[in-house]
Amino acid sequence: MLSVEQALEKILGYVDVLEVEPRPVLDCLGQVLAEDVYSTINIPPLDNSAMDGYAVRAEDTRGATEQTPRLLRVIDTVAAGSISECEVEPGTTARIMTGAPVPKGADAVVRFEDTDETQRQRVSDEIGILREAKPGQDIRRAGEDIARGSLVLSREVVIRPSEVGVLASLGRSKVKVIRRPVVAVLATGNELVDINQALPKGKIYNSNSYSVAALVQRYGGIPKILGIALDSESSLVASLRKGLDADMLITTGGVSMGDYDVVKDVLVKQGEIAFWTVRMKPGKPLAFGMVKGLDEAGVTRNIPHLGLPGNPVSAMVTFELFARPAILKMMGKKNLAKPVIEAVIEEPIVNSDGRRVFTRVIVGKRSGLYFARLTGPQGSGILTSMSLANGLVIIPEDKPGVEAGDVVQVMMLDWNEEMG
Ligand code: AMP
Ligand code: MG
């Protein structure tokens, strides 16, 4: 039986980084930048005011105090977005708003609070400066954030909201990124009914297609839901074909030892099969291979196929462990691991058969320490336990269990922002 690491290494050996394409900046959130981005402009483009106030020649304010204001003649008012035609000559000043370009001649800004503006009853062409200004005071220099010609973002950077903002500040509407993988999602099982239908006796709703598609989306891929295949080779082959134009195919169910578990049989016939069991719980049966065939447009395809177990919890846990890193690798990401923290476990967990156990827990923080408690019964069909959990405690295969109070490793599924 393969270990989790061995299985993951094999899978990653079959997936490649995808191609580069130009995309509108707002579509690139979470994608990897595929070009070095240089600035063609200075940011800010001109020296401008950091305050609402008066643009002055600093030397004109020498000796100014509340008792001995320095009086200056107001020659103009400059708003952000406009440029003053005037020059601030000795003895004069221009009223200026935050972000407005500093007029010629001025070398400092005195904020309104340090003038007598509010004490004056009516708008006057004179202002009293109540405090000395140093040259450069409250002026943001041209290029102080980004200088023209400089490298602003390097390739391989993951685009977050701040990078979207930086790109927009450079006037870039599109950038080159590694494209998102399209992941075809196929549920298998005679017992399954789609969610927009009435539920006949003996059937269950297909939840896996939706939880898996949501995971694909969360990690940056584009899900393509193929619906439900029956537990027969012909149904499976017909459905698989619809997904062959994707970058990866994920099926759920049909990989165990039951009479109707035909996914692995189809993989054997229609591809390069690596069917295996992984030393983990939940999620022991897992199939992986390359599936070959003609897609619906008649083009020959050969794409990685991950056959996840059918149990709803097993499907999600194995997705996190194997499909997520594959998707991230295709997107050009380097950090493929979920964050793992140390927490104090509040209940014992038994590991009866030497597999790596992933136990659903609720992690919280008390007096600076993380604590983890079980979500309740851990059956791999209890999908609501995944909904309660924000982490998975990892019990190593060689450990018979842990006691309450032990420090354990927890793979975080969600960080606090999602958990309220
Ligand atoms: P299997 O791996 O096909 O034997 O399925 C294991 C268990 O998971 C069975 O109880 C199935 O009914 C259930 N199951 C399989 N596929 C789905 C699905 N798409 N949605 C919900 N439950 C499923
Ligand atoms: Mg089944």
* Integer-rounded Cα radius of gyration of the chain: 31
Q: Cα of 85 to ligand 1 centre, how many Å?
A: 74
Surface-to-core class of residue 335, CB atoms within 10 Å of its CB (0-12 exposed, 13-18 middle, 19+ buried): exposed
Given a contact cutoff of 8 angstroms between Cβ atoms, the answer to whether 192 and 151 are in contact is: no
User: Mean of the pLDDT values across residues 105-132?
Assistant: 93
Q: Cα of 360 to ligand 2 centre, how many Å?
A: 23
pLDDT number for residue 419 = 46
| Residue ID of nearest Cα to ligand 1 atom 12 | 191
Amino acid at 225: I
C-alpha of 175 from chain center = 17
Which among 194, 208, 266 is the best mutation to test ligand 1's pocket, defined by most ligand atoms within 8 Å of the CB?
208
pLDDT range class, residue 191, cuts 50, 70, 90:
very high
pLDDT range class, residue 417, cuts 50, 70, 90:
low
* pLDDT tens, position by position, 43-88: 999 999 999 999 999 999 999 999 999 999 999 999 999 999 999 9
- Residue 213: its H or E element: helix 208-218
DSSP state of 57: -
User: Mean of the pLDDT values across residues 167-190?
Assistant: 98
How far apart (Å, rounded) are the C-alpha atoms in residues 96 and 54? 5
Please report, for residues 97, 108, 231, 245, 353, the alpha-carbon distance to residue 134 in angstroms, rounded to integers and kept in the order given: 19, 7, 80, 66, 75
* pLDDT tens, position by position, 328-338: 999 999 999 99
How far apart (Å, rounded) are the C-alpha atoms in residues 60 and 70? 7
Given a contact cutoff of 8 angstroms between Cβ atoms, the answer to whether 313 and 380 are in contact is: yes
Q: Cα of 325 to ligand 1 centre, how many Å?
A: 23
Given a contact cutoff of 8 angstroms between Cβ atoms, the answer to whether 408 and 402 are in contact is: yes
Please report, for residues 235, 274, 328, 370, 414, the alpha-carbon distance to residue 289 in angstroms, rounded to integers and kept in the order given: 19, 5, 18, 39, 29
How far apart (Å, rounded) are the C-alpha atoms in residues 101 and 322? 54
DSSP state of 321: I
Tokens of 219: 């990690």
Peptide bond into 44 cis (omega under 30): yes
| Closest ligand 1 atom to 311 CA | 8
| Closest ligand 1 atom to 209 CA | 19
- Residue 235: its H or E element: helix 233-242
Peptide bond into 282 cis (omega under 30): yes
How far apart (Å, rounded) are the C-alpha atoms in residues 286 and 310? 10
Beta bridge partners of 127: 72
How far apart (Å, rounded) are the C-alpha atoms in residues 361 and 411? 10
User: Mean of the pLDDT values across residues 200-223?
Assistant: 98
Which among 204, 210, 262 is the best mutation to test ligand 1's pocket, defined by most ligand atoms within 8 Å of the CB?
204
* pLDDT tens, position by position, 265-286: 887 788 776 767 899 999 888 9
Q: Has residue 418 got a pLDDT over 70? A: no
